[in-house]
């Protein structure tokens, strides 16, 4: 028998399919409760770090929902930053979001800041904390996304900012069910400092 070791690309594709299924099968009522629990932990963390600007994602499909965290950010006067993706070059631009009305459907049907009514953040600004969506995470900072490389490119850009960006905390945000033993890692993959779930904050 010929034994062929899967390369990272095939392995990632395989795990993506598995993890999409697993996340979709989490009951809606649990997803809601778990999302709220994760948001509560995120608030404590942002308070502890005196974070005044954080980046979040607007959830789509069955992702962990950060809506409560975003609203709390508005209520407490924090800057809430949300990305807009450009499907042409797989880059993201960051915008300040002040209400749900400022969103519009963007690439992939994800709700994104409407560029006509939101301010883009100036080049060179680094949020205190970046909450990163994903399909699977491991405890060593490994992350697997949809395969667009959006957050990898964004992280590479942020790295070029130098000093300002070195203080940014990168946290995966996901259900405990998305935590796996090991995510295949390639050189370009952005490394998480930790993972926030409904149960805990795991620092890598």
Ligand X SMILES: Nc1nc2c(c(=O)[nH]1)N(C=O)[C@@H](CNc1ccc(C(=O)N[C@@H](CCC(=O)O)C(=O)O)cc1)CN2
Ligand Y SMILES: Nc1ncnc2c1ncn2[C@@H]1O[C@H](COP(=O)(O)OP(=O)(O)OP(=O)(O)O)[C@@H](O)[C@H]1O
Residue 157 CB partners (closer than 8 Å, separation 6+): 91
Residue 132 CB coordination number (10 Å) = 23
User: Minimal CB distance to ligand Y: which residue?
Assistant: 145
57 belongs to the binding site for ligand X (CB under 6 A):
yes
Supply the minimum distance, in Å, between the C-beta of residue 164 and ligand Y.
19
Supply the minimum distance, in Å, between the C-beta of residue 113 and ligand X.
11
Return the number of the residue (151 or 170) whose C-beta is nearest ligand Y. Answer: 151
C-alpha distance from residue 117 to each of 48, 97, 120 (Å): 32, 9, 10
Query: In this structure, are residues 178 and 22 in contact, taking their beta carbons and an 8 Å threshold?
Result: yes
36 belongs to the binding site for ligand Y (CB under 6 A):
no
Among 67, 148, 185, 204, binds ligand X (CB under 6 A): 148
192/42 Cα distance (integer angstroms): 15
84 belongs to the binding site for ligand Y (CB under 6 A):
no
CA angle 157, 162, 166 (to 5 degrees): 95
**Interhelix angle 28-48/67-75, nearest 10 degrees:** 40
120 belongs to the binding site for ligand X (CB under 6 A):
no
Among 113, 145, 172, 184, binds ligand Y (CB under 6 A): 145
Among 148, 165, 194, 201, binds ligand Y (CB under 6 A): 148
Supply the minimum distance, in Å, between the C-beta of residue 114 and ligand X.
15
Residue 142 CB partners (closer than 8 Å, separation 6+): 182, 183, 184, 185, 189, 191, 192
144 belongs to the binding site for ligand Y (CB under 6 A):
yes
133 belongs to the binding site for ligand X (CB under 6 A):
yes
CA angle 85, 185, 21 (to 5 degrees): 65
150 belongs to the binding site for ligand X (CB under 6 A):
yes
* Interacting residues with ligand X (CB under 6 A): 57-60, 63, 83, 85, 108, 110, 133, 145-146, 148, 150-151
* Interacting residues with ligand Y (CB under 6 A): 12, 144-153, 156, 186, 188-189
């Amino acid at each position: 028998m010929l034994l062929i070791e899967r390369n990272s690309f095939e392995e990632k594709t395989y795990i993506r399919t598995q993890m999409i299924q697993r996340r979709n099968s989490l009951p809606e009522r649990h997803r809601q409760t778990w999302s709220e629990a994760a948001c509560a932990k995120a608030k404590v963390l942002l308070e502890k770090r005196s974070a005044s600007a954080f980046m979040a994602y607007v959830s789509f499909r069955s992702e962990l929902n950060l809506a409560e965290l975003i609203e709390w950010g508005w209520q407490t006067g924090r800057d809430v930053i949300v990305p807009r993706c450009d499907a042409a070059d797989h880059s993201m631009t960051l915008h300040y979001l002040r209400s749900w009305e400022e969103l519009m459907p963007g690439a992939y049907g994800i709700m994104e800041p409407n560029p006509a009514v939101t301010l883009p953040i100036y080049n060179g600004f680094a949020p205190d904390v970046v909450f990163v969506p994903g399909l699977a995470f491991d405890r060593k900072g490994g992350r697997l996304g949809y395969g667009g490389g959006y957050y990898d490119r964004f992280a590479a850009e942020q790295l070029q900012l130098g000093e300002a960006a070195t203080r940014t905390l990168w946290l995966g945000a996901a259900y405990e069910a998305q935590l796996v033993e090991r995510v295949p890692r390639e050189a370009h993959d952005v490394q998480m400092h930790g993972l926030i779930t409904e149960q805990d904050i795991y620092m890598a």
